[in-house]
Structure 1
């Protein structure tokens, strides 16, 4: 049963998290292109599609920690430090995606349809999304999201202190 759960967990991570990381990484340059070409429906459609991929696969991505907890429980490693760190980093990645990446993508999309859209900043202030700065900031948050998932992946492979000798 453990191998089956582990297989599902890994497949869910590949199928759900992979598309989010790729689409989120492609979003800022695509948005910059759409901002540089006002009225280009093709460029705007690409940005809309990338945002939709991020939203849909973020929802599907909930299966990754659910299957991860089931796998960890079956393996008897729930209290291992590498797993606890992985869980904390996974929560941080989810927060970055839901609080910092997706809302900014939505604001950029709104900005493409009008003169600009307001995006809520971390300090509570708002900024208008009509320039490169918004996409650069979005790229930074996307990079943080991707880095967090990279560290989680390495921890899952290396598993410090594991008895598998990995």
Structure 2
């Protein structure tokens, strides 16, 4: 594929990804945490207990940038703070059962709404093509300078 065609494909993919992300965000339930909150819950689900600094680094943000989101998650009972047993000066943030349930419900709901839209608008073959495209996009997410994955799926 020539460079111009590759850039056009990249631009089309970016527009589609942004549009899909916007649609999924707009369809979230009113009581759901925001994008950052859901992402923070996802990090805690995948990685276990983390400090606020570690969560901020995972989001490529400064710790003060996630303070409000963490406070809201804690106030809602979705996370809790605990002392690090190895270093009593550190506080770890832990996903609560309620937080895991909220996260699972949001992901399940988004997946169901997207699957419904796919079944209405696409043929079975087109749905299979999207499955292949999703796998390819996952590979792109793993191909990040420095080897760090940029995946944000809760």
TM superposition score normalised by structure 2: 0.32
TM superposition score normalised by structure 1: 0.30
Higher relative contact order (CA 8 A, sep 6+): 1
The structure that is helix-richer by fraction is 1
